[in-house]
């Protein structure tokens, strides 16, 4: 493994009695796109500010390329930030904004103008150098903020919810552009967002946070398919979460019946929670069904129907189906063993990963058909 570019070791941040960050450990490798994902107030922006140097950790170390940088002021750190409200200087033109950092370093004028021109070209606003900031739209300001940061050629770019002020369509466009930009520049991006869709679409790796803790980290697919607990399952995507009981390895009971699943290493008779994603549920004839539910209501979402249903025990089910159903109708639902994901209560990420290790091989065989 190569030297991580940024590492936080046991970082805790307190304001008076309030603990904002609880013993955070995370490592960022060079050249990857990372996302800190969590609800507002979970501490994700505080992590960003700690790395940028706008706030300091109460305890713990912040490492940059292996060196402790806790005491290095923000202006001496080789990271740059794209701020949530962009923070473009209103008294300077677009080109002056982008050149700001370079002029401070006394870079030769000629080099400044070529680098500024390149940065503006990179964010597709090559002809906007002479404009006033107030004459730009939100999307353009956002790009200028990125240009102003990347012109400094930082090792790490920190992005603090940079897309939150944009409308939905522009946000989707910018997701592609940011991902593309990161891959072209090859620098590490650390992106902060509360939008799980953004996180899943862009990241190489996601850190899911809540209440000052990193609950789970992993690739978007890992986190989506194997959430560690109720919070993560609920926060990332839509899900059916049901109480159940582990009977044996690969056998779980819920909804009054026993099912085959893809999880193991949990003591028999332990109370667990089962996650099934709505798109993994298939409507079928009650005769061949694993469970029978009654349709309550449905919404047409364009590419699918979102169906709300209830089973005999009163559990609510959310089903995504290409075909419509009829309200009040009893239908069967079916799913494959690997669509079930079993979560233990209070399991930490390290324990979860260790347990997965013990049966990973077997699972891979059984999920070949997916």
Partner 1 sequence: MRAVTKRRTWLYFIPYGLWLALFVVAPVALIIYQSFFDLGHHFTLGNYSTYFQSATYLKMTLNSVWYAFLITLFTGLISYPTAYFLHQLKHRQFWLLLVILPTWINILLKAYAFIGIFSQAGLANQFLTFIGIGPQQILFTNASFIFVATYIQIPFMILPIYNSIDDLNPAFVNASRDLGASNWQTFRRVIFPLTLPGVKAGVQAVFIPSLSLFMLTRLIGGNKVITLGTAIEEHFLTTMNWGMGSTIGVILIVAMIIVMTLTGDKKPKGGAPR
HSE at residue 226, side-chain half, CA atoms within 13 A, is 18
Q: What is d(CA 29, CA 3) in angstroms, rounded to the nearest whole number? A: 7
User: Which ranges constitute the DSSP H helices of 108-163?
Assistant: 109-122, 138-150
Distance of alpha carbon 96 from its chain centroid, rounded?
34
Q: Which spans in the chain are helix H?
A: 44-52, 94-104, 109-122, 138-150, 168-185, 196-202, 220-225, 230-235, 349-366
If you search the block for the tokens 């980290």, which residue do you land on?
Answer: 217
Least Cβ distance, residue 101 to partner 1 (angstroms): 3
If binding means CB under 8 A, how many residues of this protein chain bind partner 1? 33
Near partner 1 by CB under 8 A: residue from 58, 72, 100, 320: 100
Distance CA 258, CA 245 (A): 9
Q: Which of 56, 111, 130, 260 binds partner 1 (CB under 8 A)?
A: 130
Smallest gap from residue 80 Cβ to partner 1 (A): 6
- Which residues in 16-55 contact partner 1 (CB under 8 A)? 52-54
* Per-residue contact flags (x/-) with partner 1 for residues 68 to 87, judged by CB under 8 A: -----xxxx--xxx-xxx-x
Nearer to partner 1, 20 or 206 (CB): 20
- Shortest distance (Å) from residue 8 CB to partner 1: 19
Which position among 2, 66, 91, 365 is part of the footprint of partner 1 (CB under 8 A)?
Answer: 91
Q: C-beta of 131: minimal distance to partner 1 in Å?
A: 5
One of 137, 219, 269, 358 touching partner 1 (CB under 8 A):
137
d(CA 201, CA 88): 27
Give 104 or 126: the residue with its C-beta nearer to partner 1.
Answer: 104
Q: Does residue 106 touch partner 1 according to CB under 8 A?
A: no
Our CB check for partner 1 shows the closer of 105 and 110 to be 105
Burial profile 56-76: b = 16 or more Cβ within 10 angstroms, e = fewer: ebeebebbbeeeebeeeeeee
Residue 67 or 301 with smaller CB distance to partner 1: 67
Name the CA radius of gyration of the chain, rounded.
24
Q: With binding defined as CB under 8 A, does residue 155 bind partner 1? A: no
- Shortest Cβ distance from residue 273 to partner 1 (Å)? 41
Please, which residue, 85 or 316, has the CB nearer to partner 1?
Answer: 85
Phi-psi region of 30 (alpha: psi -120 to 50; beta: other; left: phi over 0): beta
For residue 314, is it left (φ>0), alpha (ψ between -120 and 50) or beta? left
**15 lines the binding site for partner 1 (CB under 8 A):** no
**CB of residue 359 vs partner 1: minimum separation in angstroms?**
46
| Shortest reach from residue 48's CB to partner 1, in Å | 11
DSSP letter at 93?
A: B
Q: How far apart are CA 310 and CA 304, in angstroms?
A: 19
Among 148, 277, 341, 344, binds partner 1 (CB under 8 A): 148
Least Å from the CB of residue 201 to partner 1: 26
Instruction: Tell me the β-bridge partners of 6.
Output: 28, 64
Verify binding: residue 115, partner 1, rule CB under 8 A.
no
**Nearest approach, Cβ of residue 56 and partner 1 (Å):** 13
Integer angstrom CA distances of residue 10 from 23, 32, 42, 54: 4, 22, 17, 18
Judged by CB, which is closer to partner 1: 22, or 131? 131
Interface residues with partner 1 (CB under 8 A)? 52-54, 73-76, 79-81, 83-85, 87-91, 93, 100-101, 104-105, 130-132, 134-137, 148-149, 152
């Amino acid at each position: 493994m190569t030297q991580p570019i940024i590492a936080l070791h046991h970082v805790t941040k307190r304001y008076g009695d309030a603990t904002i960050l609880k013993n955070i450990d995370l490592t960022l490798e060079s050249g990857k796109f990372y996302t800190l994902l969590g609800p507002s107030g979970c501490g994700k922006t505080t992590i960003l500010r700690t790395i940028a140097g706008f706030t300091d950790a109460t305890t713990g170390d912040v490492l940059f390329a292996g060196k402790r940088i806790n005491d290095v002021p923000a202006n001496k750190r080789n990271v740059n930030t794209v701020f949530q409200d962009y923070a473009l200087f209103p008294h300077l033109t677009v080109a002056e904004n982008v050149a700001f950092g370079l002029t401070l370093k006394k870079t030769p004028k000629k080099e400044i103008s070529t680098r500024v021109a390149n940065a503006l070209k990179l964010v597709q606003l090559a002809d906007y150098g002479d404009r006033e900031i107030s004459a730009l739209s939100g999307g353009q300001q956002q790009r200028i903020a990125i240009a102003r940061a990347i012109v400094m050629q930082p090792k790490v770019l920190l992005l603090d919810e940079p897309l939150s002020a944009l409308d939905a369509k522009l946000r989707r466009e910018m997701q592609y552009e940011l991902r593309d930009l990161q891959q072209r520049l090859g620098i590490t991006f650390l992106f902060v967002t509360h939008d799980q869709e953004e996180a899943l679409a862009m990241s190489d790796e996601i850190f899911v946070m809540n209440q000052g803790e990193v609950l789970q980290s992993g690739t978007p697919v890992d986190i989506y398919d194997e959430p560690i607990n109720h919070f993560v399952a609920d926060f990332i995507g839509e899900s059916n979460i049901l109480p159940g009981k582990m009977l044996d390895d690969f056998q779980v009971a819920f909804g009054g019946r026993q099912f085959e699943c893809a999880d193991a290493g949990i003591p028999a008779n332990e109370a667990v929670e089962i996650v099934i994603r709505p798109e993994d549920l298939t409507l079928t004839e009650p005769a061949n069904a694993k469970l029978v539910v009654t349709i309550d209501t449905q919404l047409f979402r364009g590419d699918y129907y979102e169906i709300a249903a209830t089973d005999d025990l009163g559990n609510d089910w959310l089903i995504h189906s290409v075909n419509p159903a009829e309200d009040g109708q009893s239908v069967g639902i079916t799913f494959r063993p690997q669509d079930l994901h079993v979560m233990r209560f209070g399991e930490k990420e390290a324990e979860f990963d260790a347990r997965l290790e013990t049966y990973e091989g077997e699972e891979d065989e059984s999920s070949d058909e997916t």
